[in-house]
Every structure is written in structure tokens, then in C-alpha cells.
Amino acid sequence: MFQMIQKSFWEQVRKFNSLAGISIIITIVVALAATIDRGGYLLVNTIVTGGMLALVSMGLALTLGVLNIPMFAHGEFFMIGTLVGYYVFNAISAYVGSHPESSLVFWGPMLTIVAAMIIGAVAGVITELLIFRQLRKRSRENWVMNAFLLTVGLSVVLVNGHQLFFGADFKGIVGYYSGPSLAIMDVYISRDRVFALIVAAVVVALFWFFMTYTRTGRAIRAVSQDETGALIVGIGLNGILMLTMSLSCALAAIAGAGLLFMYPSYPSIGLEPLYMAWFVVILAGLGNVLGAVMCSFMVALLKVLTIEYIGSGWDFVVPSILIILILIFKPSGIFGSEVRGVLDK
Amino acid sequence: MLLEVKKLNAGYGYLQILRDVSLNVDTGEYVCLVGPNGAGKSTTLKTIAGLLSPTSGEILFDGEPIGGLPGNKVTRKGISLVSEDMNLFVNMSVEENLAMGAYIIRDKKAKKKQLEFVYDLFPRLAERSGQLAGTMSGGERKMLAIGRGLMANPQLLLVDEPSFGLAPQLTENVFQSLDVLVKKGLTIMLVEQNVTKTLEVTDRGYVLENGSIELSGKSSDLADNPHVRKVFLGV
């Protein structure tokens, strides 16, 4: 027993000796140093941005790892989330305005998130059924390239669809929760940020639990690791692929609705989260879902620090440089890829 | 008759591999399919297991047609394939791999019973239950692949090249475990390159050449057949 504990302890240490472990430690140290230097709001910003980024990039990593699709329309599912959030929350606000005692004051924002999640999931199912299943049926030759082009096309259609039906103006809300900011030590955090943080934490935790312990979650991982193996043990591919797509779109939509108080809805709102999520996915190693969660926080920290120390125009430049360096020196990402990458197949 | 294959034609795209292959396997039998490289042995197994669709012909399992069903449905009917490249889930532990093998079994007790059965058959896997499948040696992975196939409690186990890439000692172990399974009443269809050994252990055999069945009969008779001796044993 003691030996086993000792053994697993050393395994953990060895894990932290790897590139992934080193980068996690560096991230934590840098985050702490910056916090001491400039104040706790940096840490809060990093965690809120990172949490939401994790939702988007987990979905992206999942589509890449399981469906083998380099998804460039993922930001548009974020956009769908913001749109659903805007309309649902406005309806709820209107109702709350005339019934100020209603319990919707508290539950309204959560309802909004759930609505965005459901619509996002439905959008994912439709995308899979109408686009990728059709492509899969017709040809699996040159799959990665064809799927990539389709996602770019889908992105254009969705962005312009938004503009056509909902207009190109900013559709934002004042905030989910009114009331004074919460103070932790001497850091003031707006209630909305706390809300976004809790949503992100709960969803990431649920998602991790789902992927690790449930039969269906394991089946998704099995498909990502070996499609033929999954078929052999009796996993129905079509169902799993559809579920994965809807799951990853739902995650993006949750992030969209969760950040609505910061980013109003407009047609090309999805571009920034898409790029950031790609940074994360490349950094983590293509298709590595749990690594993507870690790397989301790293990229968020990098972004927050860049804005803080260099200036707010640079927050895309620095991560881009990092990505170029990674692609040159460690193309498999710092966490290695848990699943086959896009190019293996 | 547990498995009946009638005039099966199959291949990849326009490339036809199998030509009118007919064979059958009875319950409890240990049947082998031997033949030179590229004869279509693996293709035959893949087509039976539903990984390839036949272009024509019939596959009956327990009297029910299963030709053209996708692989997951065939597994649900009671056929497990242990493929040549094993197709393990390399980033899952041994135990998780075995759990995935029992994916079609919903009953927890039945799952546990299967797991105990597999661990009993391969104590090595029990020792390594927490290890990632991708980090195991070739022999252990072979055991895991067979174990995973058994987890679904199949009526028919299709085993593709169990000795491929293994040291002689390990090959011997794998053959022994297959023997044990047959004695326990499992029906096995084995594809092997190691013709001498295979014809020694199996009951009946088919010789596949250029995608069609050339010879069939009792394994001991096949081992004495002059054609087999000339082509495979070089005698």
C-alpha cells in the first residue's frame, strides 16, 4: 500500500518534470508575480477569460480529435450563443421589469445560459446532419481539407445570416446581475464576472466528469483514439459523432451567452474567440481536450499580461508569436496530443 | 451452423479481394483460415465483422443475415473481432480498455463477471490494470486485444494474426490461451501465418489463395496435404 502511494507520488513528480508540468508551474508563478506586482484584478481577469476560453477551446479540441474536422466555424456557435442570450435575457428582463419580485431576477441569467446551450446543441446537430454526415457519406478522401473548406463556408453563411436577419448593430445587455461588486480582500469583482466564472467552472467540471466517468463520455474518447476499435467494441459511430458535434457547439454557445455582458452580439463576434481557441488548441496539441483547459488559462494569462504591460493593441500579437514559435519548435504542442492529430489520418 | 458465409465477394473500392468465398463454422469449433500474404484472410474477417461491406454474397450468423451491417451492430449480434493491428485505445488504461470491450453489456454484474474471467485468463492484465494500453509490450497488448474481445461475451471470436510481431515464447502463450477458450466452449475462427502451428491446434481449416477457398478439411488432413506442404511448409 505504502509502496503504491510512493510509486504514484513519483509518477506525479515525473509528470511535472515534463514540458506540460513546467509550463503549468511557470504559468502559476507568473500569475502570482503579476498579481503581487499589479493587483488581484489581473488574476480575476485571467480566470474569467481563461474559463470561458476553455469552454470554446474544449469544443474545438473535441471536434478536431473525435470528428477530425479543423473547425473554423466554431466562433459562429459562440455568436449563436450571444444572440440567443441577448433575446432570451431581454425577454426575461422585460418580464422582471414588470414583476420585480419574481425569482427570475436570480434564475433569469442561468435560464439564459441553458437556453443558449440548448440552441447551440441543436445547431450542432443540424450542422452534423446537414453538412458533415453528407460529406462523410459521399467521400472520405481528402477529408481534412474538404471539412476545413466546409467549415469556412459555414462560417461565412452564419455571419452573413446574422447580418441579414438580425442586423449588423451591437446587441448587448447592461449586465446579468445588478448590485454592487463583490469584494474579496481588496479586489472588486463585478457580480457578472463571478457569475461567468461559476458557469465556466461548473461546465468544465461537469464536462470532465462526463468524459472520464460516463459510458458515453468514454465512448467519445474511444472514438477519438481508434475509430475501428470503437466499431469493434460495438460503439455506433454516427450517434457519437453527432453527440460530439452538438456538445462542442453547446459549449461554445454557453461561452457566448456567459460573456454577453462583456461582448455584445454582432455578426463577426465569433472571430476573436475562434482565433484564441485555435491558439489554445495548437498550444495544447491538436485534439487534446484536457490539455486545452490548462492552456486556456495560459493563453488568457498571456493576453491579460500583454494588455497590462505592453498595451491593449498587442494582445493578439504576442500569442501569435508564441504559436509560430510552437509550430516551429514543438509542433505536437506542449501537452503532446492525447489523440491522433488532423494530419495523421 | 453458427456462421455461414456463402459466395462472399468483397474488396476495397474497385479492388476486389474476395471471390466467392464460402465457409462455415459450427458452434464450439476451432476453425482456421490460412493462406499466403495478400490472399484475403484479414479481408474475410473484416467483412464478417462488418468493417467492410460485401459487394455480394451472404453472411448468416445463427441463421440471421448480417452481411452489410455496420461493425457495431455485428458486435451486438455476438461476434468479436481481435484485429491484426489490435485497435486498442492507447490512451486508456488496461481496465478502461476492457470496460470499453463490454460496452454493449449494460448489466454491471455481467460486466464484472466478464472482467474476472478475463483477468483469470490473463493474470498479467490484472497486474497491469492501471497502465496505459499504449505503453505496454507487444505481447501484453495482444492479450489485451483478446481480453477486450472477450469482454463482450461473444459467441464467436474472430482472431486475426495473434502471433504477428511476437516472440516465439509469447506466441506460444497466446495459442495456449486460445486453447483454454476453446475448451471452455467458445467458437473461434483463427487467421494465422504460422501454418504449421495453426494446423496443429485447430480442428478444421480453410486454405485461402488469391481470394478464393482452395482447400478445406480437417486440420490434420490439411497438414498432410501435398499442396499445402509444398506452398506453406516448403516440403
- In this structure, is residue B29 part of a structural domain? yes
Phi then psi for A259, rounded to 5 degrees? -100, 10
The distance of A236 to chain B (nearest Cα, Å) reads 6
CB < 8 Å to B75, chain A? 231-234
Q: Residue A319 in contact with residue A272, Cβ under 8 Å?
A: no
CB < 8 Å to A233, chain B? 72, 75, 100-101, 103-104, 148, 151-152
- In this structure, is residue B205 part of a structural domain? yes
The residue in chain B having the minimum alpha-carbon distance to the alpha carbon of residue A8 is: B130
Mutual angle of helices A143-166 and A74-98, in 10-degree steps: 30
Terminal Cα-to-Cα distance of chain A (whole angstroms): 43
Rounded to 5 degrees, what angle do the CA atoms A7, B114, B149 make?
90
Mean pLDDT of all residues belonging to chain B: 91
Whether residue A226 and residue B90 make contact (CB cut-off 8 A), yes or no, is yes
More confident residue, B171 or A126: A126
- In this structure, is residue B43 part of a structural domain? yes
CB < 8 Å to A225, chain B? 89-92
The Cα–Cα gap between A83 and B20 comes to 59
- The total number of structural domains in chain B stands at 1
More confident residue, A15 or B96: B96
CB of B71 less than 8 A from some CB of A? yes
Averaged pLDDT for residues B54-64 = 93
The Cα–Cα gap between B65 and B53 comes to 13
The verdict on ipTM greater than 0.95 is no
The Cα–Cα gap between A234 and B48 comes to 14
pLDDT of amino acid A327:
78
- In this structure, is residue B96 part of a structural domain? no
Q: Residue B32 in contact with residue B188, Cβ under 8 Å?
A: no
Task: Please give the share of chain A, as a percent, with pLDDT higher than 90.
Answer: 45
Statement: residue A6 has pLDDT above 70: no
Statement: residue B175 has pLDDT above 50: yes
Which residue in the set B50, B73, B101 is minimally distant from A233, CB to CB? B101
pLDDT of amino acid A106:
84
Interface test with A, best of B12, B91, B96 (most A CBs within 10 A): B91
What pTM did the predictor assign? Answer: 0.86
pLDDT of amino acid A181:
80
- In this structure, is residue B70 part of a structural domain? yes
CA neighbor of A65 nearest in space, from B81, B104, B89: B89
Q: Give per-residue pLDDT as tens, B197-232.
A: 899 999 999 999 999 999 999 999 998 988 888 887
Domains of chain A: 2-329 (1.10.3470)
- In this structure, is residue B199 part of a structural domain? yes
The Cα–Cα gap between A115 and A164 comes to 22
Which residue in the set A215, A234, A338 is minimally distant from B72, CB to CB? A234
Whether residue A225 and residue B99 make contact (CB cut-off 8 A), yes or no, is no
Scanning chain A, the segments in alpha helix (DSSP H) are 2-17, 19-38, 41-62, 74-98, 104-127, 133-138, 143-166, 191-213, 215-225, 227-232, 237-258, 271-284, 289-309, 317-329
Q: Please report, for residues A45, A213, A243, B107, B166, the alpha-carbon distance to residue A252 in angstroms, rounded to integers and kept in the order given.
A: 19, 22, 14, 35, 46
Give residue for cell 419574481. Answer: A102
- B54 is in which domain, residue-wise? 1-78+156-162+187-234
Statement: residue B104 has pLDDT above 50: yes
Mean pLDDT of all residues belonging to chain A: 85
Statement: residue A319 has pLDDT above 90: no
> Where residue B55 sits, what CATH number does that domain have?
3.40.50.300
CB of B105 less than 8 A from some CB of A? no
The residue in chain B having the minimum alpha-carbon distance to the alpha carbon of residue A139 is: B13
Whether residue B72 and residue A228 make contact (CB cut-off 8 A), yes or no, is no
Residues 6+ apart with CB under 8 A from A303: A49, A276, A315, A318, A319
- In this structure, is residue B93 part of a structural domain? no
Residues 6+ apart with CB under 8 A from A188: A41, A181, A182
CA neighbor of B67 nearest in space, from B80, B58, B76: B58
Confidence tier at A12 by pLDDT (50, 70, 90): low
Interface test with B, best of A232, A332, A335 (most B CBs within 10 A): A232
Q: Residue A240 in contact with residue A91, Cβ under 8 Å?
A: no
- In this structure, is residue B48 part of a structural domain? yes
The distance of A5 to chain B (nearest Cα, Å) reads 13
Confidence tier at B115 by pLDDT (50, 70, 90): very high
Pairing of strands B56-61, B3-12: antiparallel
The residue in chain B having the minimum alpha-carbon distance to the alpha carbon of residue A337 is: B91
Q: Give per-residue pLDDT as tens, A112-155.
A: 999 999 999 999 999 999 999 999 888 878 888 999 999 999 99
Across the A/B interface, how many CB contacts are shorter than 8 Å? Answer: 74
The Cα–Cα gap between A321 and A194 comes to 31
Q: Residue B98 in contact with residue B111, Cβ under 8 Å?
A: no
The residue in chain A having the minimum alpha-carbon distance to the alpha carbon of residue B49 is: A232
